[in-house]
Amino acid sequence: MALMRLQKALAAAGVASRRRAEELITDGRVRVNGRVVTELGTKTDPQRDKIEVNGRVVVSEEPVVLLMNKPRGVICTVNDPEGRQTVLDLVRHRGARLFPVGRLDYDTSGALLLTNDGELAYALTHPKQGVAKTYLVKVRGQVSEDVLQQWRTGVDIGDRKKTAPAEAFRKEQNQNYTWLEVTLREGRNRQIRRMAEATGLMISKLKRVSFANISIARLRIGECRPLTDRELFRLKRDHVNPSGRQAQHTLQPVDETTRERSVKSGRQQRKTSRKKGRSKRKT
């Protein structure tokens, strides 16, 4: 097996996300063949080398990716010092060493991916990927077009720069409340709630209905399911190897002479086909 970076090997084995694996290495909690390694980028062969984290030997696992409909009141972390229920408590029976892909607020329900594939998790949470996250937002009262336009162009929520443009439109509205559908491509802390506060809206319900265009439709609160082969293929095509997709869909320019020849050739083929058809009918 080819050599790979130690943090990538830990992520591939399901130990942690790649970022968390880097922290484990720099904290001196990783050994390779009995030697503590603290330098990021150290190469290793997972098939031959003995890798330990916190004194335990790392054993590679089959990659697992689950979609959960996270309930409200469940914290999105591996463990909680305050003893609150975590998303991992809901999947202990699965056996694999899973961790959440990104975060979903304690008071927010909805779509959350869990995996032991650190490389996939790293790709999906990297800011440059701009992974789409779609929410249903219920706010009190009515929402004006001016407010929606602020969300679409960027809102000052007290950070160094405004939020990135969001897709936002009304799904339902009456005198008492409005349902919005909002799609973000960045992941700041409590972003939708802060955008609402900054534009004078009060949220009464917030639910993420899809992550990376993978929907929780027909998935009950607290339940999870494995991703389909098609969903996994799309995730890896669009986010782990997006350059491959771009190359696949790049069209080569065609000059006018070549275009005319192609059109004439097509016409000639159709004429020949019609002549053959008439000949067969006569006989």
CATH number of the domain to which 85 belongs: 3.30.70.580
Residues 155 and 201 in one domain: yes
Residues 143 and 189 in one domain: yes
Which pTM was predicted?
A: 0.71
Catalytic residue check, 105: yes
Residues 36 and 85 in one domain: no
- Chosen domain end from 17, 36, 57: 57
Q: Is residue 174 part of a domain?
A: yes
Residues 112 and 52 in one domain: no
Q: Is residue 239 part of a domain?
A: no
What pLDDT, in 10s, does the model give residues 226-254?
999 999 999 988 887 765 444 333 333 43
Q: Is residue 223 part of a domain?
A: no
Q: Is residue 229 part of a domain?
A: no
Residues 138 and 162 in one domain: yes
Domain count, the chain: 3
DSSP string, 211-275: ETTEE-TT--TT-EEEPPHHHHHHHIIIIISHHHHHHHHPPPP--HHHHHHHHHHHHHHHHHHHH
Highest mean pLDDT among 93-97, 258-262, 273-277: 93-97
- Chosen domain end from 34, 57, 80: 57
What pLDDT, in 10s, does the model give residues 108-130?
999 999 998 888 888 899 888 89
Least confident range of 128-132, 144-148, 187-191, 277-281: 277-281
Residues 101 and 53 in one domain: no
Instruction: State the Cα–Cα distance between residues 74 and 84, nearest whole angstrom.
Output: 7
Q: Any idea what the CATH number is for the domain that residue 33 is in?
A: 3.10.290.10
Instruction: State the Cα–Cα distance between residues 106 and 83, nearest whole angstrom.
Output: 14
Residues 75 and 18 in one domain: no
Q: Is residue 76 part of a domain?
A: yes
Indicate the helix (H) or strand (E) that contains 51.
strand 51-53
Q: Is residue 270 part of a domain?
A: no
Q: Which residues contact 110 (CB under 8 A, 6 or more apart)?
A: 69, 70, 104, 135, 207, 208, 209, 216
> Residue 176 gets which letter from DSSP?
S
Distances (CA, A) of 80 to 88, 98, 209: 11, 15, 25
Helix axes 118-125, 18-26, angle to 10 degrees: 110
The parent domain of residue 22 ranges over 4-57
Q: Is residue 162 part of a domain?
A: yes
Point out the catalytic residue in the list 27, 45, 105, 107. Answer: 105
Indicate the helix (H) or strand (E) that contains 119.
helix 118-125
Q: Is residue 234 part of a domain?
A: no
Residues 18 and 45 in one domain: yes
Length of the chain: 283
